[in-house]
Amino acid sequence: MNTRLFLEINDLARATPWLHAPMAGYAKYGVVLFAVLLLAGWWLARLRGSGLPAAVWAPVGMLLAVAVNQPIVSVVHEPRPYTTLPGILVLADRSADPSFPSDHATMAGAVAAGLLLVSWRLGLLATAAAAVMGFARIYIGAHYPLDVLAGFAVGATVTLLGYLLARRAIGAALDRLDGTRLRPLLRPAGPAVAGRAAPARR
């Protein structure tokens, strides 16, 4: 099933040459979008005065998820599709790195999960971006579908479990920083903003 679905998507890639450049570009450089989304999560939490611990954790959880993924990749050591399936269309830069789970999907799944803790709207946007990233990695011939799904699972699990364990410590650290010169990074300046009630998370 895994290989068959990959081949069906590869056939779709053959039939849609007009999609090659955008898909290959997003599969390679889409990480920039996730960095922008993380920055937007911090900015949104800072402005509304809630969700800041989750916004701070989101990039940390992403880095931790990618780190956790590395030993899994090494142990499973699954070859890339283009090393075992002759004649497929390959739009990816060929790599000797193992395929399962996908690092890109792990990163994307971690960011989506982290931003869902900050804002449902921003989190859903990140989830959509992650889905497109996962499909793009298959479309260009870099990964099997299960590589992507496993990456999503690793990224989301590490981020969510990590936040459950770390949120109190993060909140305490932010409270201490609130009285330092780093306070503008935590909330907008001005007495009127500092004194208003924090709106409910959407």
The CATH number linked to 62 is 1.20.144.10
Any domain includes 35:
yes
Coil, strand or helix: which one is 15? helix
Any domain includes 198:
no
Residue 68 predicted with pLDDT over 70: yes
Any domain includes 86:
yes
CB 140 within 8 A of CB 158: no
DSSP letters, 97-112, are S--SS-HHHHHHHHHH
Per the structure, the count of domains in the chain is 1
Any domain includes 188:
no
Residue 182 predicted with pLDDT over 80: no
Any domain includes 77:
yes
Residues 6+ apart with CB under 8 A from 119: 41, 44, 45, 51, 201, 202
Any domain includes 202:
no
- Show the domain range for 130: 2-179
pTM: 0.84
CB 82 within 8 A of CB 90: yes
pLDDT tens sequence across 1-47: 899 999 999 999 999 999 999 999 999 999 999 999 999 998 888 88
